[in-house]
Structure 1
Amino acid sequence: MTFLSVILIAFLIGITYYLYRKKIINKNLFTITSIFIGLYSLITILIYYNNINSGFKYGILFGDVAGSYFCDEERYFFESALLSEHLKNGELLELLKGSFPAYEYITGADIPGFGYKNIFVIFLALLRFIGINSVVDLILVKLIVYIPTSIYLYKLSRIYLDEKKSLITVSIFSLLPGYILTNTLLMRDNIILMLLIIILYYSLNKPINYKKLLLFLLLIFPIRGYLPLILPVVLIFCYKNDEKIITVKDIFYFLIIIFTLLFFSNFKFNNGELMILGFDDGQMANLQSALRDLYGSGITFVINIFVQTFIHIVVDPIFPEFLKSGSLYLILFSLGNILGTILTIIFGIKLLISILINKKNSLTYLFKFSMYFILLCGLLVLCKDAFIINRVALMWMPLYIIILLLPIKLSKKKPAT
């Protein structure tokens, strides 16, 4: 921790206070946001020194730890340092020409870095270029995105909930161990979640502001490229399709999903058709081979991928060994998985009750949007990575919490005459 760390924390709280004074946020949201900025700053420092005391020189946990391999923070930290040095040496033109290796940094396990075209690597390199090099300070700069996240999560919740429950939504989400980690590690996920929550707000708020929605879809594309493809599909599936939970349209859309899965699992890509998703033809062929090994082919593949998607959405591995590791990072990691599973199960029960009791109402759009969004994200992530980690599942947790806090309105029977 440096003197700059203190200035950054004060600056973050100062921004929140400025927004309160300008009446952009109310007193309650100002209080909640300020408390969590303080909490995340403290946990960032605690994780840093906990890692230092565990023998990690730079305060970053990496390598084989408690039976798992960690390297994402390491790659961002060291690769951004290399890029910053290139910039200081006046090698920008060489970088643009591609004179350096695509992956100049390689981890001890021979895992390449993210590359100098990675937006987050560039962001960290620019911070290092102006003299911000401490892990803690880099994370605290990134913490600024929590402010718009809390504001837009509150606005998203207010579409369906009263002020008190909207503040509770912000508090619950902010307290999730997985989300705490996204704000206290040298990772880009809290930036992704900020943009996604803003996108969810503009997707669910009526009438939809398509210009702002498109703007934020373009902004999120460089860091999570599949979301600008999934979200328009979700909007199309939900468009004028909120009279009932299951309609003929939904059966048709479900068949489209099935045939799309069959197509992508079997079609031979030879002309770079999936470059937009970050795959070349060779990677796609390897992915298709891996999917067949894991889930079979044909209709067996479809059945298995749906079953596994459901299981992975509901159940996160507990990693009990993390809880006794003495690492604050790993403890929060395990608690995030445990609470994520519990929250998913409770959400499923609440959603089912709400659908059965309220068969047709203004919430149908929210229910359908949530189900399509979770299903399509889950399917794509499982096909891409073969698992769904908690920091990815955080993308649909705000929708979980909002639906959990919705009041259940029992239908009133007309008195007999």
Structure 2
Amino acid sequence: MTTSTSDPTREDLIRAEAARLGFDVCRFADARADWPAGARLSEFLGLGRHGEMAWMAETAERRAHPNAMWSGARSAVMLGVNYGPEADPLTALEATDRGAISVYAQGDDYHDLIKKRLKALARWLQGRFGGELKVFVDTAPLMEKPLAERAGLGWQGKHTNLVSREFGSWLFIGSILTELELRQDAPSGGACGQCRACLDICPTDAFPAPYQLDARRCVSYLTIELKGPIPRELRPALGNRIYGCDDCLAVCPWNKFAQAGREQALHAREALKSPALEELARLDAAAFRALFAKSPVKRVGRDRFLRNVLYAIGNSGDPNLAGTAQEHLADPSPLVRGAAVWALSRLLEPSAFAALRAAAAEADPEVLAEWCAGALGSTDG
């Protein structure tokens, strides 16, 4: 019996099931082909641009190529979920008494949301076509953005994030590596042209050159990955960004073709869109866990989050928030106390700051250094 040319292909069936499960795009790449991503990673690590993210160096060999992590992988099923915001996230930077939380973190943790769908698709895929497979969503040593570029979901823009013609810079990426031989899609090709909007808007100059990122200067790294105090010279540039940064994504011209994503509409919480800094600063451990239940923000912990909030208070220029910062001079965490000192050095007159310093009973060397820097007026570096 011959098969009609109109019968759906295996790839068509996979795309249809992916769409049914809530994915906005599904394309295929050869997991075995050579690529330059491994060399770029080696250069990135060699320059120390990964900062404290030691896990990147520790897993560098497995990250170098999909087959270095799993030799059995023949094809990659690359999937995207649109999380485009309903409004321009850059407007949140104008309300300096409120915190700006990155769009992706204003709802439930996307790892949890997407992994459930990926596992469901993987079960269907294996049940229908067989073959071993592995599921990934930004939690294993697999460089997904180069694979997504190879599959044609988009291209890595000058900000190093994926850019899509249909969804702009707002795509969550997931992947399934499989032993199956699937017909690969063509790469979409880069289309940034002469535009450098994403590079120019970066508040901390984290891009040494187009298509290169120094994570040590990136606001997302500083507010999420860095465990200790953020370097003094970078703190003013944080503004009111308290978790992540959307600037380079939000300014991308390709966003004009993107529609608001279903995920953002379904899962974004009003309480996280523009929260008051004063209220956030008063979160104890239990209140922090309650507010950020199911949110990726919970992973940084209360102390690191309050560090960010207090830096934002210091950047607010509002002396009425000085009392809120002062409440944290006796916080159990040296990280929080140090951030409170820095905020007060920005909000108080020198005489008032000196009086607080004289009354402080501080023994931690890093917090003492904050008091000294504040007294000398060297809070900006």
Greater fraction strand: 2
TM-score, normalised on structure 2? 0.29
